[in-house]
Amino acid sequence: MPTTKRDYYEILGVAKGASTDEIKRAYRGLALKHHPDRVSAEHKKEAEEKFKEISEAYAVLSDPQKRSVYDQYGHTGFDQRYSTEDIFRGADFSSIFSDLGVGGSVFEDLFGLFGGAGGARRGGRGADLELELPLSFEEAARGITKGVSVTRHELCSECRGEGGERANCATCQGSGQVRQSAGFMVIARTCHRCGGQGSTVKRACPKCRGEGRLTLDRKLEVKVPAGVESGMRLRLSGEGDGGSRGRGDLYVHLTVSAHPLFRREGPHLLVEYPVSIAQAALGTQVDIPTMNGRVSMKIPSGTQSGTVFRVRGKGLPDVHEHGTGDVLVRVIVETPTNMTSAQRRLLEEIGKSLGTEAHPSQRSFLAKMRDLLKKS
């Protein structure tokens, strides 16, 4: 949470006298906009922080008792009476998220409402993990299965995530809550000793030393589909950290190295093919590289530099749609250098014999330039 908290009403953009329905509508709109599952990877961190802020504001203002305490004491007095677990306890998020079509389990990941020491049974769903997977251009083009190593938490097999032998918490007597008086109100807070579980570890498990989880290195295989590119990510469901409510996911971020000849445009491959003045003028047959060997392509006579030809179906598989991209061949007419005197004379003679009729684009440009100069 931010060090200096903003006013809850300001966060949701509602007036202090707003009704419960108005508060719920305001939160719905903001939750849809800032939910971490609905933004790109580069904006995920920013969205998570914003989502935390608006969710806390809604949890407080949607509860009449918490809202009354907040209105009376402000942030300082409110935070002295409520922990993070208390704030979210009883708040109705499930109906909102089911309507929006986004996940509500994000609370366990972002707020750690079930986290802390004393056994993985408090951990809820395990955390998501991320790693980067570098690929060569050829691997990304054709697809590949690659092995990766992941360090993750797993439930202790000895104590099954309990942390050891447990006993009722002496502080809350097994209820998981401690009640405190605040004027005319009695406020129930999560027990600080057992974290709301109602029990503590009496005799720690020797294998996990009371943690309920072990940190282990696992080897996994990642199936990379053909046609992926840098910036894409793959989701391996259930391969993240372990928790009592299930495993988190593993997100694999792909980085693809550059190719010496090709440049990608989605599923299409762009290649620049240099030809001589004579080849461009007279036409020629050339071999074009593809990811699966060479194909023959005709360059017609009179081809201008920068002209793009399309070789259909010789590009990359389209990971978003069915089908395959094309190879786009951009012809670059190369001007000769280091000519001999004899070659220069021949070229001069050819140039004189061709005249302007053989260069219609140049003739048109010069005519436009003359018209412009006459007006100036």
- Mean pLDDT of all residues in the chain? 83
Instruction: Report yes or no on 180 lying in a domain.
Output: no
pTM over 0.75: no
| Chain segment 280-306, per-residue pLDDT in tens | 999 999 999 999 999 999 999 999 999
CB 28 within 8 A of CB 79: no
Domain boundary among 113, 141, 160: 113
The predicted structure's pLDDT at residue 104:
47
* For the chain, percent of residues with pLDDT exceeding 90: 40
Count of structural domains, the chain: 2
74 vs 139, residue with greater confidence: 139
Cβ neighbors of 324 (< 8 A, separation 6 or more) are: 267, 313, 314, 315, 316, 317, 318
Structure tokens at 26: 């305001």
| Chain segment 330-370, per-residue pLDDT in tens | 999 999 999 999 999 999 898 888 877 778 887 888 888 88
Tell me the Cα Rg of the chain.
Answer: 34
Q: Which of 11-15, 124-128, 266-270 has the lowest mean pLDDT?
A: 124-128
Confidence class for position 37, pLDDT limits 50, 70, 90: low
Residues 69 and 60: their CA atoms lie apart, in Å, by: 9
Q: Which of 41-55, 185-199, 358-372 has the lowest mean pLDDT?
A: 185-199
Confidence class for position 313, pLDDT limits 50, 70, 90: very high
The predicted structure's pLDDT at residue 172:
86
The predicted structure's pLDDT at residue 177:
79
Confidence class for position 309, pLDDT limits 50, 70, 90: very high
Give exposure, 52-84, as e/b (b: 16+ Cβ within 10 Å).
Answer: bbbbbbbbbbbbeebbebbeeeeeeebeebbbb
Instruction: Report yes or no on 254 lying in a domain.
Output: no
Instruction: Report yes or no on 204 lying in a domain.
Output: no
**44, exposed or middle or buried, with CB in 10 Å at 0-12, 13-18, 19+?**
middle
Instruction: Report yes or no on 315 lying in a domain.
Output: no
Q: Which of 102-106, 150-154, 264-268 has the lowest mean pLDDT?
A: 102-106
276 vs 40, residue with greater confidence: 276
| Chain segment 80-100, per-residue pLDDT in tens | 677 666 677 667 665 666 555
The predicted structure's pLDDT at residue 227:
94
The predicted structure's pLDDT at residue 74:
86
CB 334 within 8 A of CB 273: no
Instruction: Report yes or no on 348 lying in a domain.
Output: yes
- Does residue 136 carry a pLDDT above 80? yes
Confidence class for position 273, pLDDT limits 50, 70, 90: very high
Structure tokens at 13: 């953009």
Instruction: Report yes or no on 208 lying in a domain.
Output: no
- The domain of 368 spans 340-376
Confidence class for position 1, pLDDT limits 50, 70, 90: very low
| Chain segment 64-81, per-residue pLDDT in tens | 888 988 888 888 777 767
| Chain segment 125-134, per-residue pLDDT in tens | 778 899 999 9
- Does residue 174 carry a pLDDT above 60? yes
The predicted structure's pLDDT at residue 321:
79
Domain boundary among 45, 80, 113: 113
Instruction: Report yes or no on 57 lying in a domain.
Output: yes
Nearest to 187 by CA among 259, 260, 102, 89: 89
The predicted structure's pLDDT at residue 175:
81
Instruction: Report yes or no on 104 lying in a domain.
Output: yes
- Does residue 141 carry a pLDDT above 90? yes
Confidence class for position 115, pLDDT limits 50, 70, 90: very low
Handedness of CA 13, 17, 20, 25 (dihedral sign): negative
The predicted structure's pLDDT at residue 15:
94
- Does residue 121 carry a pLDDT above 70? no
Domain boundary among 71, 89, 113: 113
CB 208 within 8 A of CB 202: no
Instruction: Provide the CATH number for the domain around residue 11.
Output: 1.10.287.110
The predicted structure's pLDDT at residue 112:
44
